[in-house]
Amino acid sequence: SPLVTPVSCAMLSGFSHDVSHQEIARILGEVEAWYATAHEQAGVELLPIDGIKNFINMDLGYEDIDEFEDAIQGSFEDFLNSFPHIEVKEVDGKQFIKITELTPGPPRKMVLEVTSSKQLLDTTLLKATDAELEIPHLEFGIGADQKRHVDSIYNHLVVAYEELDRHSSMLGENSEEQAKIKETVESLKALLDVEKPFQLVIKDPSGLSDFKPRDGVKEEKIE
C-alpha cells in the first residue's frame, strides 16, 4: 500500500500582512469549486495538488505560485492544510488534496479556552454564515452577517477591532458612544497578548463552523 503521511497544520499568522479576510474567502471558494469539479470528473477523493496550483496561477490573478506564497508568507500546501475541512497528504512522494464537504449538523455551541497568543495565531476558525462569536467577559460579540469567514482567531479579533475603530471615527468627537467603542477596541487589542486565559464562544446554528486544531474545544448542543 502507498505510504501516506499527513502534512502538519500551519499557522495563518502571515495573513495579517498581505492577504485580507476577503481574499482568503475568495481563494478558498475558488479552491472548493475547483476540487468539486475535478472530483466529479476524476471520481477519486485524493487529487494531485499540482492541478490546483496551475488553477491558482490562471484564475486568481497571481503571476505564479511563488508570488502567491510570498503573499501568504508560507507554502501553498500549509495554507490549504490550515482549513478545518481540507487535508493535504503525501503519497509516494507526491502531494494530494482532499476536501470534505461541509454538511449541516445539529445546532451547537463551541467553547475554546484561549491560554496564549500562540494559540490565537495557530488556531484557524471557520465561522459559518449564520454563526456568532462571543467573548463573554467583555460582553462582546460578532454577529452573523451571512458571509463565511475563515482565518486565524488572532485575525478574526484584529478585523473586529479595526471595524469598530472605523465606526467610532465616524461618530461625533467625545460622544459617549464613541468612548464606549474605543474602550472595547482597547480591550480587544489587549486580548491579543492573552495576559490571562479567556473563553471564546461560537454559537453555531447550522453546525458548519469549526476550529483547526480542535484541541481544547468543548461542544454542547443548543436548542
Cell of 16: 495579517
Q: What is the pTM of this model?
A: 0.74
Higher-confidence residue: 166 or 193?
Answer: 193
Q: Among 215, 209, 211, 212, which Cα is nearest to 108's? A: 209
- Per residue in 18-44, pLDDT (tens digit) is 566 677 778 888 888 888 888 888 888
Q: Which of 36-40, 45-49, 71-75, 190-194 has the lowest mean pLDDT?
A: 71-75
pLDDT of 160 strictly over 50: yes
Phi then psi for residue 97, to 5 deg, are -120, 140
Average pLDDT over residues 147-152: 86
Q: Which residues contact 10 (CB under 8 A, 6 or more apart)?
A: 74, 75, 78, 79, 81, 82
Q: Dump pLDDT digits (tens) for 189-219.
A: 999 999 999 999 999 999 999 998 898 999 9
d(C-alpha 15, C-alpha 144), whole Å:
22
Predicted confidence (pLDDT) at residue 8 exceeds the cutoff of 60: no
